[in-house]
Amino acid sequence: MNPEHLLWFIPLLPFAGFVLNGLIGRRLPRTGVAAIALLFSALPALLVADLWQHMLSTGTLAITANSAPWIQVTGFVVRFAFTVDHLTLIMLSIITGVGFLIHLYSVGYMAEDQGYWRFFAYLNLFLFFMLVLVLAQNFLLLFVGWEGVGLASYLLIGFYWQKPAANAAARKAFVVNRVGDFGFLLAMFLLIRNFGTLDFTGIFSNISAHPGMQGGILTAIALLLVVGAAGKSAQIPLYVWLPDAMEGPTPVSALIHAATMVTAGIYLVARAHVLFDRSPFTLGVIAIIGAATALFAATIGMVQHDIKRVLAYSTISQLGYMFLGCGVAAYSAAVFHLMTHAFFKALLFLAAGSVIHALSGEQDMRAMGGLRKRIPTTFWTMTAGVIAIAGIPPFSGFFSKDEILYRVWDSSINPGLSKLLWAVGLVTAGLTSFYMFRLWFKTFFGAERFDEHALGATSHAAHAPHAHTAGTNAHAAEDEHDEGQAHSHGVHESPWVMLGPLVILAVLSVVGGWVGVPQALAGSNHFEHFLDPVFAATTHAENAINADQVSHGLERGLAVVSVLVALFGWFVADLFYRQRPGTLGARAAGTPLYRLVAHKYYIDELYNGLIVLPIAGLTRLVLGGLIEGGIVNGSGKLAAFATQAASSGTRRMQSGNIRSYAGWLAAGAAIVILVMTYTVLAHTAIR
């Protein structure tokens, strides 16, 4: 098949899966639903593999597939066009590869859920829109995928639609992302106004052809794009939707956090790097946002008790690292961490789902402990993920995180700021190691803190009322609880349809970073060289490459410091959560600082008081008072008054009094005579 044709099939296949399961999935057996979902998520992965083989064997740097003009208005033309270069290839591989594993895992995880067909239809839809996003050849088509991903996430986060918390979380994710999307829209308007096109090639070649084009309008456009990227990738101040997104089923969390939605902002900055390179101010803003978000989220992750929420704040923090990498124009390092993060974060979420499955729905780590011998496969695979994210060599997270930290230290964009940003990144690395090993020790070590005989009963009792209340509803058969694990009793290992993806992701979490081992550590950094055709033309990237060639000693020294910090985090977690369990929490629990962090710095309350409540009050005043009460109800009252007045006058005319009738008849005749007289006089005057 012609490679250009493959580009069309890659996104269309999961869309076909969505349509089939959406239309007939309800009437199919579960094996049929799963077969459709798996087939239409596996085929795109095979097509991407074929693209890899073709592009590498022929030395092709980019493939583009164009349609007829999609929009054509007075010289402004937008085509429905897809393109693949080396950056897109990596994104496609992550999305289809990790996405398929999550689909496979979901077959076992959602086995007991009555919304089985609906869940897989949404998963395929999510995959479709994410593939459109990364394949797009212009900003407008990218925006279509961008919005579609937002829609799919809304559907999946609110999958248990009978739960008020799930509905609230879905709305929150949708609204917060619309704030970011507003910035993206304004950026597109400015691009049209200044470049007359939204095609990547047209805009980037125009910028490259004008070396003197710096700052100014480019800074304005870049800052607006950052607003959109911050919303999608959950960065300060638009990160608040991501922790609440845990209300969705756990495979959804894995998909959103690892392979799809939250990576979109990083991809946008990397894709538009030509534009960002011309605005050092915007790069500085991105670096500061990334460093602040990484540290801020890591501190909150230290005190969370819900195993999924620890991972959620961990995702926000790791995305901060990627933003930090983009902020110093180390785009390949940011994408490298995006890839390794996809491996170990998908693994961690799916392993957490296996733990939750084993404990029949329990997510609080205070009710876990001692699970390493009860669910050994889950334990060992999750161990690989924990060590990888902690940044301990030779696991994947070490190489990608260390690459970002080194690029930050060596950055020439904001040299006065780079050392401070590096220090923040280093402290964050220590905190990451601490809270991830805290999760590991609390979950798998120490005494068992759960009542095995009571597992599942609580969940059944909690959900029973909903089953009755939903009895007459069209969706009555759909359980609202997560993951179907509430139907099981006793601690048990997950089936192999769930463990298989864990094992594959664990292997990738160990070896996935070896493609990016830098020269300073006796590697050749294949990953960066693979992306050279996309990024190497930039001035900042060239500087970074040159620095890499002359600063190997410095890089090795920084790597040693980074590893020591990660090991210190492990040691502290071991001391307080394995050797002396409970002592740190007992000492810190009553302090103001602990309460501040435990309440997530009261940011949700602050947003609620400063933004949500005033807007809700203003909305009630404008829509409820002025429009509904004044215009809608007022016009109704005015019509009623006019009708009443007219009927009252008519009633007086029909009084039955002969003299009254004669009076009204005379008045009417007088009016007719006056009108006729006026008409004749006016006609005469005109002639």
Q: Are 209 and 263 in contact (CB under 8 A)?
A: no
What does the pLDDT read at residue 486?
52
Q: Are 282 and 262 in contact (CB under 8 A)?
A: no
Grade residue 561 by pLDDT with cuts at 50, 70 and 90. Answer: very high
Grade residue 540 by pLDDT with cuts at 50, 70 and 90. Answer: low
Query: Rounded mean pLDDT of 150-176?
Result: 91
- Token pair 């992306």 in the structure block, residue: 531
pLDDT over threshold 90, residue 633: no
| Phi, psi (rounded to 5 degrees) for 362 | -70, 130
Query: Rounded mean pLDDT of 585-614?
Result: 87
What does the pLDDT read at residue 670?
86
pLDDT over threshold 50, residue 463: no
Query: Rounded mean pLDDT of 497-512?
Result: 96
The backbone region for 452, taken as left when phi is positive above 0, alpha when psi lies in -120 to 50, beta otherwise, is: alpha
Q: Tokens at residue 646, please?
A: 């007219």
pLDDT over threshold 90, residue 410: no
Residue, of 468 and 575, whose pLDDT is higher:
575
What does the pLDDT read at residue 360?
87
CA distance 656 to 639: 28
Sequence-separated (6 or more) residues with CB below 8 Å from residue 367? 359, 449, 450
- Token pair 């700021």 in the structure block, residue: 417
Sequence-separated (6 or more) residues with CB below 8 Å from residue 370? 444, 445, 446, 447, 448, 449
What does the pLDDT read at residue 588?
78
pLDDT tens digit sequence for 1-15: 677 888 999 999 999
Mark 462-472 as b/e (b = at least 16 C-beta within 10 Å): ebeebbeebee
Pick the most confident of 114-128, 439-453, 590-604: 114-128
CA nearest 448: which of 573, 359, 379?
A: 359
In whole angstroms, how far apart are CA 194 and each of 189, 206, 216? 9, 10, 12
What does the pLDDT read at residue 142?
96
pLDDT tens digit sequence for 86-130: 999 999 999 999 999 999 999 999 998 889 999 999 999 999 999
pLDDT tens digit sequence for 284-323: 999 999 999 999 999 999 999 999 999 999 999 999 999 9
| Rg of the chain over all Cα atoms, to the nearest angstrom | 31
Lowest mean pLDDT among 131-135, 570-574, 630-634: 630-634
Q: How far is CA 289 from the centre of its chain?
A: 17
What does the pLDDT read at residue 541?
54
3 state SS for 254-282: HHHHHHCHHHHHHHHHHHCHHHHHCCHHH
Residue-level length of the chain = 687
Judged by DSSP in three states, 518 sits in: coil
Q: Tokens at residue 35, please?
A: 């077969």
The secondary structure of 42-84 as a DSSP string is HHHHHHHHHHHHHHHHHT---EEE--SEEEEETTEEEE--EEE
Grade residue 430 by pLDDT with cuts at 50, 70 and 90. Answer: very high
How large a percentage of the chain has pLDDT more than 90? 64
CA distance 507 to 194: 48
CA distance 566 to 561: 9
CA distance 92 to 533: 17
| Phi, psi (rounded to 5 degrees) for 534 | -90, -40
Q: Are 169 and 247 in contact (CB under 8 A)?
A: yes
- Token pair 């007992």 in the structure block, residue: 586
Query: Rounded mean pLDDT of 541-564?
Result: 75
Q: Is residue 22 classed exposed, middle or buried when 0-12, 13-18 and 19+ CB atoms within 10 A define those classes?
A: middle
Taken in order 241, 242, 248, 252, the sign of the CA dihedral is: positive
What does the pLDDT read at residue 544?
55
For residue 237, whether the previous peptide bond is cis, meaning omega lies within 30 degrees of 0, is yes
Lowest mean pLDDT among 193-202, 267-276, 528-537: 528-537
What does the pLDDT read at residue 32?
95
CA nearest 579: which of 450, 449, 438, 379?
A: 438
Q: Tokens at residue 453, please?
A: 């005989």
The secondary structure of 443-482 as a DSSP string is HHSSS--S-GGGTTHHHHHHHHHHHHHTTTSTTTT---SS
CA distance 208 to 329: 16
Predicted TM-score of the model (pTM): 0.86
pLDDT over threshold 60, residue 558: yes
pLDDT over threshold 60, residue 361: yes
CA distance 9 to 96: 13
Other Cβ atoms less than 10 A from the Cβ of 453: the count is 9
Nearest-10 Cα torsion for 300, 304, 308, 309: -40
**Mean model confidence pLDDT for the chain:** 87
What does the pLDDT read at residue 469?
38
pLDDT over threshold 80, residue 589: no
Other Cβ atoms less than 10 A from the Cβ of 370: the count is 15
pLDDT tens digit sequence for 53-96: 999 999 888 999 988 888 888 788 888 899 999 999 999 999 99
Q: How far is CA 610 from the centre of its chain?
A: 24
